[in-house]
A and B are shown apart, each in its own frame.
Chain A
């Protein structure tokens, strides 16, 4: 199990694929760990990519600072990992908390990226997100990691995914419960206590950017992704049909396919962000369709977009 050093801390990572191939780097969500990208590793290796995953500070097998974890340190650790990849093209993707870290990296070191894919992501703590975050933190404090998982599972995954697992949810939760420690998760959550909105800095991201948002994302709804689409110049917003916040778990094959196609388009010179809004296919390999012209993609009912 390889490790990178960041100061006195060790960052656990995994890297597979040919050295000169374009690389995808994945950044975990809050309660995740590196192994959860396993399906992406397989799918993208098959399509000729190099794949790097890692545990953030405070997660999984990486070191867990005891009292404070700064998001600056997370970005610095990510920078170490990307430096270790060498000179080839790098596509960076992160989900939720990891998407935020990826955004911060892209703002500070965007010239190193060939492409960026924020998923279920946000640049600001809106009142809803702030209060939800506070409630989740209180849940963690009062009920431990298991209770936090109990809150997140129904919030972030569909009935279709949950139904066959209802009688074995304990085994679904077990690995996440084993590798995550309450104090470390709490430190990760409390790294938002001095959070400053990234919105004013998003326009500095010059890399081609594909923003992925689940149709039914409750935790980070559409308008949070809209901020990214509007502010990041070379971006497109892609809505994943019938998907929730944790669509990377639920729709791995589709998401991996979208990631591979995005990178192929960028490397082939075909990518045009145009701040467009697309609807992803429901199955891998299907066509993306433009969001219907004239309709408001921020609404859940078909409402004509107000003319600017």
Chain B
């Protein structure tokens, strides 16, 4: 079992079956983030930090749009039962130690976004031989690069002074989120013949 996508097709493209499974998972995760940022985004911005919410919403939407267009889709009936646990995993979960529901909701969204942006590295799945002219290859690289940028606002918020009194609770929630997201990612990769140990 390899740690990379492939065997590649003769022209260096990722097989459509693998593209479909990877793209479906990433669309599910980033789509969930886009929806949740959309619900959080006020119609009119009242504070400077809310401009970041706007940026996050549009970047997540861009990732979904990019994957929809860059992927060579192929029918994949297994997705029918795979999607349900993914979508369930993105739902808000209670966070022990943070009784304020508004703060808990913000921590939920930030921990989920941190886990998706930091814990999933799609470009690390690409073998050296992958065709750089392939839009799917380019999309995976772009998503990983953008994720590391998007991650910064989650890091700033989760490490920030507002959450300093809740540091242990935040750290525990984030570790749990990472573990849950990585488990799903590992399962997706395992389902297309990839050993996920080196791709998390």
- Residue pair A183, B198 in contact (C-beta under 8 Å): no
B128 at interface by CB-CB < 8 Å: yes
Question: Which chain A residue has the least Cβ–Cβ distance from B144?
Answer: A144
Question: Which chain A residue has the least Cβ–Cβ distance from B199?
Answer: A178
Chain B residues with CB under 8 A of A8: 175
- Residue pair B128, A171 in contact (C-beta under 8 Å): yes
- Residue pair B174, A182 in contact (C-beta under 8 Å): no
- Residue pair A66, B149 in contact (C-beta under 8 Å): no
B121 at interface by CB-CB < 8 Å: yes
- Residue pair A66, B121 in contact (C-beta under 8 Å): no
A67 at interface by CB-CB < 8 Å: yes
CA distance A67 to B198 in the complex (A): 21
- Residue pair A183, B155 in contact (C-beta under 8 Å): yes
A266 at interface by CB-CB < 8 Å: no
A141 at interface by CB-CB < 8 Å: yes
- Residue pair B155, A186 in contact (C-beta under 8 Å): yes
Contact of B114 among A66, A68, A174 (CB under 8 A): A66
Q: In the complex where A178-B124, A181-B118, A183-B118 touch, is A142 in contact with B149 (Cβ < 8 A)?
A: yes
- Residue pair A182, B175 in contact (C-beta under 8 Å): no
- Residue pair A68, B198 in contact (C-beta under 8 Å): no
- Residue pair B158, A67 in contact (C-beta under 8 Å): yes
1/0 per residue, CB under 8 A from B, across A49-78: the answer is 000000000000000011110000000000
- Residue pair B171, A68 in contact (C-beta under 8 Å): yes
Q: In the complex where A144-B148, A178-B124, A182-B148 touch, is A66 in contact with B178 (Cβ < 8 A)?
A: yes
- Residue pair B118, A182 in contact (C-beta under 8 Å): yes
- Residue pair A182, B171 in contact (C-beta under 8 Å): no
- A133 → B minimal CB distance (Å): 17
- Residue pair B151, A182 in contact (C-beta under 8 Å): yes
21 contacts between A and B (CB under 8 A): A8-B175, A65-B171, A66-B114, A66-B118, A66-B171, A67-B155, A67-B159, A67-B171, A68-B159, A141-B148, A141-B152, A142-B149, A144-B145, A171-B128, A174-B128, A177-B124, A178-B124, A179-B198, A181-B118, A181-B121, A183-B148
20 more A-B contacts (CB under 8 A) besides A66-B175, A67-B170, A183-B148? A8-B175, A65-B175, A66-B114, A66-B171, A66-B174, A67-B158, A67-B159, A67-B171, A67-B174, A68-B159, A68-B167, A141-B149, A142-B149, A144-B144, A144-B148, A178-B124, A178-B198, A182-B151, A183-B151, A186-B155
